[in-house]
Amino acid sequence: MFRRYTNNVSKDAMGNLTAVVTGTGEGPRPRIMLAAHMDEIALVVSKIDKGGFLRVVQTGGFDPRTLVGQEVVVHGRMTLHGIIGSKPPHLTSPEERKKAAPLEDLYIDTAMPEDRVRDQVRVGDRITVYREPMDLLNHRISGKSLDNRTSVAILLECLRQLKQMRHTADVYAVATVQEEVHMRGAQTAAYAINPDIGIAVDVTFADMPGQDADESFKIGQGPAITMGPNIHKKVFQRLTETAKEHGIRYQIELSQGPTGTDANKIQITRDGVATGLLGIPIRYMHTSVETGSYEDIVESSRLLAHYIASVDSEYVEGLSCY
C-alpha cells in the first residue's frame, strides 16, 4: 500500500514497515516520524488437550468476556479455522452463570482429529479472531483491529495528500509492530530514523453508555490531540493551531503520565524526540466490534498533512527552546 506514494519502502528485522517521502528543502532536512502500529491483540496456544482441543493464553489484552462463541484463525503450519467454546449454561452451576468464563476454561475447537492437530499446531502458535468489517450508519465502521489499523489508514491517506503539497521535511511513515506488547517496534524504528519530531497515531476511548464523559471523546468530531508529559508542548501547540487554521475538527486529551502508545518509546529515543500524539475515538476497544468513524480518519490525515507542510528548520530549532 505504501508503494502507491513512494518507492522508498523498507522492512526491518522487527517487522516494521517504513515509507520515506523526501522533502523539497535543502539538506539537512527536518525528519518527521509518523507511527501507527499495525499489530493486533491475539491468543497463543498454550496446550493441546486430549481430543485436539486447544488451550490458550492471551497477548495484548483481550477482554475474556467477549471471547465465547468467537470464530478464530489458528496460524499454525497450516491455517486452521475454529471456534472458541465453553461449557453450555445447562452444565454450569448457578454461581458460574453469574460471571464470565475465565480464559483458562475456554478452548478452541478446530473439528480436526487430535493427531492432525498435533501435526499442524504447536505451542506458541498465534490465534486471531476472524471477523469481517461492517459499515454502520453515519459514516461509521465496526470490526476487529481498528486498534490500530484505523491509524495505518490515516498514514496512507496523509501520504496521498502530501503528494499534492509542498513540504520541506523528510517524512518517515512507519507501520510499527509489537505496540500491544510494550511498544517494541516503535523503539527500534525511532532509533534507526533518529527523527526531529515523532507523532504517534493511535486510538482513544470514545463515548458510550457507562463511560465517564470526562474520560471519553466524541466519535466523528475529529482526533483527540494529546497534551501531557509524554508530549512536547510546541508540537501540541502547532497541531492545535494547524487544526484551527484549516477548519479541522479536533478534541483535546490530557494525559497525566505515559500515554501507553508508541509515543512513549519515541520520546525517549537517543537524546530525546519532540513527540506528539493523535488519538482516534473508538468504542468497544479490544473487542471484535471496535467502532469508529471514517470522518475521523479523514480529519486526522488532513491535520497530519498540513502540520507536516508547516514544519521547517526554524520550527525544529525552536523545539529545544521552551
Q: Are residues 124 and 156 in the same domain?
A: no
CATH number of the domain residue 83 falls in: 2.40.30.40
Tell me the residue type at 244.
K
Instruction: Check residue 60 and give its pLDDT.
Output: 87
Q: Which one of the listed residues 40, 71, 114, 179 is annotated catalytic?
A: 179
CATH number of the domain residue 17 falls in: 3.40.630.10
314 within a domain of the structure (yes/no): yes
260 within a domain of the structure (yes/no): yes
Q: How far apart are CA 33 and CA 194, in angstroms?
A: 9
Contact 154, 161 (CB under 8 A): no
Q: How far apart are CA 267 and CA 284, in angstroms?
A: 28
Closest residue by Cα to residue 295 from 136, 135, 137, 139 = 139
140 within a domain of the structure (yes/no): no
Q: How far apart are CA 129 and CA 70, in angstroms?
A: 7
Query: Using CB atoms within 10 A of its CB, is residue 154 exposed (0-12), middle (13-18) or buried (19+)?
Result: buried
Q: Are residues 61 and 177 in the same domain?
A: no
Q: Are residues 36 and 49 in the same domain?
A: no
Q: Are residues 66 and 195 in the same domain?
A: no
Domain hosting residue 198, numbered range: 2-40+145-318
| Number of domains forming the structure of the chain | 2
Which cell goes with 4?
Answer: 502507491
Which cell goes with 36?
Answer: 501507527
135 within a domain of the structure (yes/no): no
Q: How far apart are CA 276 and CA 272, in angstroms?
A: 13
Instruction: Check residue 322 and give its pLDDT.
Output: 66
Regarding pTM above 0.75, the answer is yes
Q: Are residues 224 and 310 in the same domain?
A: yes
pLDDT mean by block of 10 residues, the chain; 322 residues: 92 98 91 98 97 94 89 97 89 79 91 97 97 97 96 98 96 97 96 98 95 88 98 98 98 95 98 98 96 98 99 94 72
The question of whether 179 is a catalytic residue gets the answer yes
3-state SS record for 116-152: HHHHHCCCCCEEEECCCCEEECCCEEEECCHHHHHHH
Q: Are residues 242 and 156 in the same domain?
A: yes
Q: Are residues 109 and 59 in the same domain?
A: yes
